[in-house]
Amino acid sequence: MKLADLYMFLKPDIKKIESELERAVEADHPVLQEASLHLLHSGGKRIRPVFVLLSAKFGQYEIDRVKYIAAALELIHMASLVHDDVIDDADLRRGSKTIKARWDNRVAMYTGDYIFAKAIEKASFFENETIHRVISNAMMEMCLGEIEQIRDQYNWDQNFKTYLRRIKRKTALLIAVSCQLGAISAGASREDQNRLYYYGYNVGMSYQIIDDILDFTGTEKELGKPAGGDLRQGNVTLPALYAMHHDSFCREEINHIIGTSGDDPGDISPLLDMINHSGGIEYSKTLSRQYLEKAFRSLDGLEDISAKKSLLDIASYIGSRNS
């Protein structure tokens, strides 16, 4: 089953969001316009807008209002990916060249900034101060998460807490806030806003842990980019962290082959094999499942409407995704 099959009833509404996104990336400058459209048309699961819409179903659902929040969240996500590919020195995303590879880092910087600004413009449809505060805070936290990742790069001695705090900032909060803002913008009750926020947070933690697992276990075809990029870049994610904590030989090998300087380590497939056989993948899967179980429980108490079933189904799907 495909992800989109889990929320078929939202299809016309998702189409409206796509039109908002198309309109948002129109720019007077040809390079900005082409670069933004390139990213928009390269695909993407649009999972954050889906969380916004499903959460809004617990209040007074009006697509012509909530679509601005949904578009804003996807734009924030898109902008963060453009910048992330600069930081991660990534040449491929969604099977196409990244903006930094097709143009350069300077174009990627301004395209990302431009898309961020467009997100703020979309959100300005709402006068509610809380909405703007929540969005700004999520954007700040994402930057902190990415900066912390730069600080912790090539640090083979970091602990699990550092990893969890980093993924909370860079990924989980934006998904939490997608759910929360969907609920706020539709006037859902405070209790439901909180339930949806915690659902999003737990789904988001699990989502990034699985993204980090897939970077070791996925194929280039599934991922739309080469596997092993995280380790090659000196980014310590959960499978590697586990392997290094449980096997000092593995830690030494990583330190020896990847080093601390950012030089091209060459073929890292023996390291990937070592981590794949270290128990780190199974450990990461278990932790990701625990977050998903918390996500399921966060939905207790919400009214039994079809959106609730979709949220449950999406959480199950995330547990088994391979792209």
Instruction: Give the residue with the Cβ less far from ligand IPE, 81 or 131.
Output: 81
Instruction: Give the residue with the Cβ less far from ligand IPE, 96 or 187.
Output: 96
Q: Least Å distance between CB 95 and Mg ion? A: 15
90, 109 contact by CB (below 8 A): no
CA–CA dist 298, 200 (Å, integer) = 9
Instruction: Give the residue with the Cβ less far from ligand IPE, 122 or 170.
Output: 170
Residue 281 touches which of Mg ion, ligand IPE, none (Cβ within 5-8 Å per kind): none
Residue 208 binding ligand IPE, by CB under 6 A: yes
Two structure tokens written together for 238: 């959960």
Residue 205 touches which of Mg ion, ligand IPE, none (Cβ within 5-8 Å per kind): none
Two structure tokens written together for 280: 């780190």
**Residue 276 dihedral angles phi and psi, to the nearest 5°:** -60, -25
Q: Within positions 86 to 125, which residues make up the interface with ligand IPE, using CB under 6 A?
A: 88, 90, 94
Kindly give, in sequence order, each residue whose CB lies less than 8 Å from that of residue 243, ignoring residues fewer than 6 positions away: 250, 251, 254, 274, 275, 278, 279, 280
Q: Least Å distance between CB 56 and ligand IPE? A: 19
Residue 152 binding ligand IPE, by CB under 6 A: no
Instruction: Give Rg (Cα) of the chain.
Output: 19
* Beta-bridge partner residues of 92: 97
At 97, is the secondary structure helix, strand, or coil? strand
Residue 84 binding ligand IPE, by CB under 6 A: yes
Residue 45 binding ligand IPE, by CB under 6 A: yes
Helices (H), 259-305: 269-276, 280-298
Q: Least Å distance between CB 87 and Mg ion? A: 6
DSSP state, 101?
H
Give residue number: closest CB to Mg ion: 88
> Interacting stretch for ligand IPE, rule CB under 6 A, among 40-48, 265-273, 289-297, 298-306?
40-48
**Residue 92 dihedral angles phi and psi, to the nearest 5°:** -125, 140
At 46, is the secondary structure helix, strand, or coil? coil
What is the x/- site pattern for ligand IPE, positions 235-274, by CB under 6 A? ----------------------------------------
DSSP state, 3?
G
Q: Least Å distance between CB 170 and ligand IPE? A: 4
Residue 168 binding ligand IPE, by CB under 6 A: no
Two structure tokens written together for 103: 């143009």
Q: Least Å distance between CB 220 and ligand IPE? A: 13
Residue 18 touches which of ligand IPE, Mg ion, none (Cβ within 5-8 Å per kind): none
Instruction: Give the residue with the Cβ less far from ligand IPE, 171 or 288.
Output: 171
Residue 119 touches which of Mg ion, ligand IPE, none (Cβ within 5-8 Å per kind): none
CA–CA dist 39, 279 (Å, integer) = 36
Angle CA 15–20–22, to nearest 5: 95
**Residue 79 dihedral angles phi and psi, to the nearest 5°:** -60, -40
CA–CA dist 179, 301 (Å, integer) = 16
Residue 202 binding ligand IPE, by CB under 6 A: no
Q: What residues make contact with Mg ion under the rule CB under 5 A?
A: 84, 88, 211
Residue 41 binding ligand IPE, by CB under 6 A: no
Residue 175 touches which of ligand IPE, Mg ion, none (Cβ within 5-8 Å per kind): none
Q: Which DSSP string corresponds to 166-223? A: HHIIIIIHHHHHHHHHHHHHTT--HHHHHHHHHHHHHHHHHHHHHHHHHHHH--HHHH
Residue 47 binding ligand IPE, by CB under 6 A: yes
200, 76 contact by CB (below 8 A): no
Binding site for ligand IPE (CB under 6 A): 44-45, 47, 80-81, 84, 88, 90, 94, 170-171, 208, 211
